[in-house]
Amino acid sequence: MDIELSAVFPALNEKENIPALFAEAERALSRFCARWEVVLVDDGSTDGTADLAEELAARGDGRFRVIRHPRNLGYAAAIRDGFAAARLPLVFYSDADLQFDLHDLRRLLPHLADHEIVSGRRRHRADAWPRRAASRVFNTLAGILLGIRVRDIDSAFKVFRRSFLEEIEIESDHFLFDTEVLYKARLSGRRVKEVPVRHRPRRGGRSTVKLRDVRDTLRGFLWLLGNRRRWTARR
């Protein structure tokens, strides 16, 4: 399969990680893709992330692009804008903190022949135990309430067929993005594959996830359930 892929990276105050991110992305994508591009969406960083990313992108051959938000609009907004800017048939996204090894894309890509979404499942999650515990509770509740049969819903290592993304509207804000997309995929009968991938400690910068994000995301379950009839009617 000749892979043509857009890689989207939302970033907030990740200046320390940008050079390594761009270098690893170029190595991995050049290895697995016939055509590729990188779209970094700076979501209102205050540490110079966007300036450095634009400087590095300008040295390349046009395959690296930077989108700047003048202020912080939230995680989902950054991903939405990145997806809208993507030009190629497959769209991948991951965070800019390099906790995922981008070479693990080779584990996901073969499954796109039979699935609309392929998601990386962190085999050994390199996060502190409170965050792992919160994620476990969240995934369990999502399975019970929404019927999502994915073990690692909020894994920021997913690749989509562009045709699927063009048929749905991402409406949620912040960290409900993954849950909304997987829920809409379930409601529309789309095929989702989960594949084990590696997970690494952060190399630099700080996590922007807070306990209130988990609280707000759990509240979002009610919003998703309340919209089920509307989304189902569109099919």
Interval 17-48: pLDDT, tens: 999 999 999 999 999 999 999 999 999 999 99
Q: What is the DSSP letter of 50?
A: H
Total-model pTM: 0.89
Tell me the C-alpha distance between 161 and 200, whole Å: 26
Q: What does the pLDDT average to over 93-112? A: 96
In the chain, % of residues over pLDDT 90: 67
Q: Which residue in the block uniquely carries the two structure tokens 């609309």?
A: 116
- Report pLDDT for 231: 81
Amino acid symbol at 174: H
Q: Is the pLDDT assigned to residue 160 strictly greater than 90?
A: yes
Tell me the C-alpha distance between 106 and 112, whole Å: 11
Confidence band of 10 (pLDDT split at 50, 70, 90): very high
Under the phi-then-psi rule, with left for phi > 0, alpha for psi from -120 to 50, and beta for the rest, what region is 189?
left
Contact predicate 153/191, CB 8 Å: no
Q: Is the pLDDT assigned to residue 101 strictly greater than 90?
A: yes
More reliable by pLDDT, 150 or 135 = 150
User: Strand runs (DSSP E) across the chain, as ranges?
Assistant: 4-11, 35-43, 64-69, 90-94, 117-122, 157-161, 192-197
Interval 168-214: pLDDT, tens: 988 887 678 899 999 999 999 999 999 999 998 876 555 555 555 56
The closest of 224, 8, 222, 207 to 102, measured between CA atoms, is: 8
Angle in degrees, CA 188, 193, 197, rounded to 5: 145
Across the chain, mean pLDDT equals 89
- Report pLDDT for 193: 97
